[in-house]
């Protein structure tokens, strides 16, 4: 696996607004368990929870997108990164910070539409 897909990329894909580059899928793509949680939450919040849950699971299966669970390594990177940002006077959403920590710990590249948001994180590779 080489890439981690941010929640906004998955949502745009599911809404038919944006394709996911086939080179990214072929190189190996995953999502954080945090992204999966956000997608499930969004499904239950929608008018068609059952249909949306099936759509998400189908997409993950069809595109062979793996889910990366949290680990001690990811949590350690999260702690370091959060402390670094706070010491610099910056804050970032907790979920985004956990997604970024996953990318750094697993030495991946984050595919996101929100470069400006993540740019502050040292050591994070963006696509």
Residue 62, marked binder: no
Residue 96, marked binder: yes
Q: Where are the alpha helices (DSSP H) in the chain?
A: 7-14, 22-27, 33-45, 49-62, 72-87, 94-105, 115-118
d(CA 81, CA 104): 10
Pick out the residues of the known binding site for Mg(2+): 6, 96
Pick out the residues of the known binding site: 6, 96
């Amino acid at each position: 696996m080489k890439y981690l897909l941010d929640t906004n990329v998955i949502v745009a894909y599911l809404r038919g607004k944006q394709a996911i580059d086939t080179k990214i899928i072929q190189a190996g793509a995953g999502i954080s368990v945090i992204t999966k949680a956000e997608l499930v939450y969004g499904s239950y919040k929608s008018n068609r929870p059952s249909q949306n849950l099936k759509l998400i699971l189908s997409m993950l299966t069809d595109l062979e997108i793996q889910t990366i669970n949290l680990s001690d390594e990811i949590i350690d990177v999260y702690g370091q990164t959060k402390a670094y940002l706070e010491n610099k006077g910056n804050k970032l959403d907790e979920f985004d910070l956990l997604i970024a920590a996953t990318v750094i710990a697993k030495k991946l590249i984050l595919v996101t539409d929100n470069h400006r948001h993540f740019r502050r994180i040292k050591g994070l590779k963006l696509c």
